[in-house]
């Protein structure tokens, strides 16, 4: 076992902003791959910092609290044995809604949360260093996030509903059809997604479809490639291979070795 993990659900008041919390303790030093699956994350280092590969393909040490934007290509992080982390898996527009940050600037990047949230984030960092356990850490974080709920805006939540609809479809929908069903123009859809989600809606849909591929391969190790192609809505093997190569840089036969262990 490379790591131990636990999952926690958010406070009901945060359910439109936080998907869940993941607590990891690594028992071995490991290089962990991260695939483009349409997620944004707040990563809290509760012990040793980890190293992550940035957009320039160079390793950098993480801050105590890192904001990690949409990952659009295969990336790696390096975790040391004995390190402990709490990851907040955010809803599609949550970070932009709470902090007003242009999310396209975070694509394929992880930056210091304190640079965005300032003194309150530094105060949170200090409090977390004194927390007696994971439950107290989550309580401190939730208190901090709930203080930001007054910044929530209807326009952002409207875009989030579209992103959630894309998730329900597992990315398998044309953008013109999506715009028509959501009663918006393709241009406004692109503008809002880039600002609030961090990537164009078409790329987001492709990433969600790839996430569906990864889940199928993870849960059904013996599943045939042809079944993945049919289930996930790819036209044919060439289409599937091209998408996989563009988003992960690997051919279909290599996919399973890069899948993270299920939580």
Phi, psi at 244, each rounded to 5°: -65, -45
What is d(CA 209, CA 44) in angstroms, rounded to the nearest whole number?
28
**Longest Cα separation, the chain:** 54
Domain ranges of the chain: 3-151
Residues 6+ apart with CB under 8 A from 30: 2, 3, 78, 79
Instruction: State the pLDDT at residue 262.
Output: 42
CA 27 from centroid of its chain's CA atoms: 23
Instruction: State the pLDDT at residue 150.
Output: 85
Instruction: State the pLDDT at residue 78.
Output: 84
- The count of other CB atoms within 10 Å of the CB of residue 215 is 15
What is d(CA 199, CA 25) in angstroms, rounded to the nearest whole number?
31
Q: Which residue shows structure tokens 């990851």?
A: 87
Residues 6+ apart with CB under 8 A from 134: 6, 8, 23, 46, 86
> Cβ distance 69 to 93 under 8 Å?
no
Cross-strand partners of 75: 34
3-151: which CATH topology?
A: Jelly Rolls (2.60.120)
Q: DSSP readout, 152-218?
A: --HHHHHHHHHHHHHHHTTT-S-HHHHHHHTTS-HHHHHHHHHHHTSS-HHHHHHHHHHHHHHHHHH
Instruction: State the pLDDT at residue 80.
Output: 85
Per-residue confidence in pLDDT tens, the chain, 263 aa:
788 999 999 999 999 999 999 999 999 888 888 888 888 999 999 877 677 665 556 667 778 899 999 999 888 888 888 889 999 999 999 999 999 999 999 998 889 999 999 999 999 999 999 999 999 999 999 999 999 998 887 778 889 999 999 999 999 999 999 999 999 999 999 999 999 999 999 999 999 999 899 888 888 888 888 999 999 999 999 999 999 999 988 888 877 665 654 43
* Distances in whole angstroms, Cα of residue 82 to Cα of each of 52, 75, 79: 17, 22, 9
Beta strand pairing status for 75-79 and 30-34? antiparallel
């Amino acid at each position: 076992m490379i790591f131990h993990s636990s999952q926690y659900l958010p406070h009901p008041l945060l359910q439109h902003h936080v998907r869940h919390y993941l607590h990891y303790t690594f028992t071995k030093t490991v290089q962990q791959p991260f695939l483009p699956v349409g997620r944004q994350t707040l990563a809290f280092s509760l012990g040793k910092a980890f190293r992550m590969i940035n957009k320039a393909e160079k390793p950098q040490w993480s801050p105590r609290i890192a904001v990690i934007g949409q990952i659009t290509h295969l990336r790696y992080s390096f975790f040391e044995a004995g390190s402990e982390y709490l990851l907040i898996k955010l809803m599609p527009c949550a970070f932009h809604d709470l902090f007003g940050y242009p999310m396209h600037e975070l694509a394929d990047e992880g930056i210091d949360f304190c640079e965005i949230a300032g003194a309150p984030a530094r105060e949170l960092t200090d409090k977390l260093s004194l927390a007696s356990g994971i439950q107290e850490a989550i309580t401190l974080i939730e208190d901090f996030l709930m203080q930001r709920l007054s910044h929530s805006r209807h326009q952002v939540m409207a875009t989030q509903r579209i992103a959630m609809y894309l998730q329900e479809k597992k990315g398998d929908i044309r953008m013109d059809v999506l715009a028509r069903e959501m009663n918006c123009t393709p241009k406004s859809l692109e503008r809002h997604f880039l600002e609030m989600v961090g990537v164009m809606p078409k790329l987001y849909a492709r990433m969600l479809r790839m996430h569906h591929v990864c889940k199928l391969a993870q849960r059904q190790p013996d599943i045939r490639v042809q079944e993945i192609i049919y289930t996930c809505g790819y036209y044919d093997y060439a289409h599937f291979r091209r998408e996989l190569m563009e988003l992960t840089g690997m051919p279909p036969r290599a996919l399973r070795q890069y899948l993270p262990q299920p939580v």
